[in-house]
Chain A
Amino acid sequence: MLRIALKMLFGDKMKFMTLVVGLTFTCFLLTQQGSIFCGLMLRTASNIFETGAPIWVIDSTASSFNDVVDLKLSEVARVRSVSGVQWAVPMSLHGAIAQSDEGKTAAVQIVGVDDESLIGLPAGLKDAHYEDLNQPNAVIISKTRSERYGAPQVGDEFEVNDHRVKVVGIIDSKKTFAPFPVMYTAISRVQSLMPDKQRIVSFILAKPKAGVDATALCQKINEETGMKAIQLWDFVFSTMKFWAANTGIPINFGTNVVMVLIIGTVISAQTLYAFMLENIRQFGTFKAIGITNGELARMVFVQSITVGLIGYGLGVGMASLFGLFLPDTAPLAYYTPPALIWIVLFLVMGFCVIASFLSLYRVLRIDPAIVFRG
């Protein structure tokens, strides 16, 4: 009878298409909106990912990438002195004003990296060398949002806090959540760009020696330096949490995703439920003929799960294509973590099963005498 159940499902093309379109649309929206939410949250920590340091040391009162309390340069040496640390380098993050020779002015973020190792510079430098950062007044700029201060090219000069700087490279880096253009320079130069700053080190990036447990090392750094050492993913999450707590955007967007989930669930479950009820006379006929409740339940479940899987495949496929054709530098943040794919599958199958249970409740209680009614 399962073959009959599937033919009943596929046979009425209009009802089947309505079901599939409803479920596809729900899965697409869930995946797409979820991906935008994940992309948005990931952008809050894009600097951390691009830097890639496994351990971040910050002031004990600081909490995230965007909520820093500057440290003394000497603190770097204290971290280096902790046994188990392979290397530790300073990194700074400060706001400044950039102005092109044409007078275009923009607030920018300046990231200062260790002069010698240049650890902390993101990948993606085009037609230039990272070592060029050692040239006098050199900066590497991120292409993203650079048009706000005139979109300088390699070799161009402009002003940062009234100091002349020269572009030695352009990085095609990902957008950040903070709406500022980003540029990179040697940390020693940051001091000259901000002469009034007593402390310029915002983070100390560190890496454990081979075989050293990162969690244990963080604990050790905390104990020996009094600072706060955090592993990369913990720092990512605390930064996401900072943005979630201090701006309404992620919460509002999260609410949007939840609304999509609720509306999608209700619409899909209702459509599926209605489909089952429209077949109630047929199910009644089967019951009159003598089908068992177990067989009837199997028919209903096969119909629900089949249509759910088709809708899921199409919806998630469409959302994946949407993300595939979206460039990394696109204004729209988009990231589909594998977990999201599983969550959507779980949800869709969940409400298909719920709709099955609801309709099954009706189907199993059909008065078979319905078949004699006109």
Chain B
Amino acid sequence: MSALPDLNSTSKTAISLRNVYKSFDNDGEAQTVLHDISIDFPAGAMSYVVGPSGCGKTTLISIIAGILTPDSGDINVLNAPIHALNQKQKGEFRRMNVGFIFQQFNLISTISIAENVAIPLLIQGVPHDEAVETAIEWLGKVGLGDRPYATPKDFSGGQQQRVAIARALVNDPKLVICDEPTSALDGKTGRVIMELLKNVAQQEGRAVIIVTHDNRIYQYADYLVEMEDGRILGTHQDAQAWANATSGIAPSTA
């Protein structure tokens, strides 16, 4: 089943998928992981993608980011026809428009957190010193401005995720894609991070998409996409109500 969001009049669509299919080769047999996905994600909102493990959430966000190529279907992200771009153009699109927050942080342990944050700018060709200067400003915004030249191993998991968030936001991306951003964090740190992302999401013309199992953070969602077995089960405007109503998922206490 596919569903279209009930966007209110002030929202615009940031991401639009139509009839998207994706399969992977599994010992010579094609295993379809996304079935006829058609969905819109609103701009200026924080959208969640939820569902059990293996339901296709990560594949969906990988396709939205242009990291994976669908077998068929149209994908428009921030008015860019991702399905029609070649790999080089997709790389360029990500470089200029997309920020990533990974479950494992994916920080480089051997360089300073300032340089870690500066990487998207360095990839864009910003000179090193200028990039690091901007990165230090962003570290200040996430509360880590006092030790910019320390390496990630000197920080806790929550602090490392804040570094990763600064890295995702340092080049001012229009789309932020997060994979389980709070799964390794305690409740307090998780709330701080979600407030940060909420602020980004609410800016005009931007969107934040979060894949999560963490029911502590549903209260921050503006829009929720529920997936199962590679299909869209439904969409919800009130994520917290959905969470409360869904059996087996406890209401958030975050």
Q: Is A288 an interface residue (CB 8 A)?
A: yes
Q: A10 to chain B: which residues have CB within 8 Å?
A: 110
Q: Is B94 an interface residue (CB 8 A)?
A: yes
- A-B contact number at CB 8 A: 80
Interface code B123-138, partner A: CB below 8 Å = 1, 0 otherwise?
Answer: 1000010000000000
Whether the Cβ atoms of B123 and A291 lie closer than 8 Å is yes
Given known A1-B123, A289-B95, contact A7–B110 (CB-CB < 8 A): yes
Q: B216 to nearest A CB, angstroms?
A: 19
Q: Is A137 an interface residue (CB 8 A)?
A: no
Q: B12 to nearest A CB, angstroms?
A: 24
Among candidates A8, A295, A371, residue contacting B123 with C-beta atoms closer than 8 Å = A295
Q: B109 to nearest A CB, angstroms?
A: 7
Whether the Cβ atoms of B62 and A369 lie closer than 8 Å is yes
Q: Is B222 an interface residue (CB 8 A)?
A: no
A369 to B60, CA, bound (A): 11
Among candidates A289, A295, A367, A369, residue contacting B94 with C-beta atoms closer than 8 Å = A289
Q: Is B40 an interface residue (CB 8 A)?
A: no
Q: B108 to chain A: which residues have CB within 8 Å?
A: 4, 8, 11, 282, 285
A214 to B58, CA, bound (A): 79
Given known A4-B115, A369-B67, A372-B103, contact A290–B110 (CB-CB < 8 A): no
Whether the Cβ atoms of A290 and B115 lie closer than 8 Å is no
Q: B88 to chain A: which residues have CB within 8 Å?
A: 292
Instruction: List CB contacts (< 8 Å) of A326-374 with chain B.
Output: 367-369, 371-374
Q: A285 to chain B: which residues have CB within 8 Å?
A: 100, 102, 106, 108
Nearest residue, chain A, Cβ from B91:
A290
Whether the Cβ atoms of B106 and A369 lie closer than 8 Å is no
Q: Is A12 an interface residue (CB 8 A)?
A: yes
Q: Is B61 an interface residue (CB 8 A)?
A: yes
Q: Is A281 an interface residue (CB 8 A)?
A: yes
Q: B125 to nearest A CB, angstroms?
A: 9
A7 to B94, CA, bound (A): 24
Nearest residue, chain A, Cβ from B99:
A289
Q: Is B4 an interface residue (CB 8 A)?
A: no
Binding site for A on B (CB under 8 A): 58-59, 61-62, 65, 67-68, 88, 91-96, 98, 100, 102-104, 106, 108-111, 115, 119-120, 122-123, 128, 151, 179
- What are 23 A-B contacts defined by CB distance under 8 Å? A1-B119, A4-B108, A4-B119, A11-B109, A281-B104, A282-B108, A284-B106, A285-B100, A285-B102, A287-B91, A288-B65, A288-B67, A288-B94, A289-B94, A289-B120, A290-B95, A290-B123, A367-B68, A369-B67, A372-B102, A372-B179, A374-B103, A374-B104
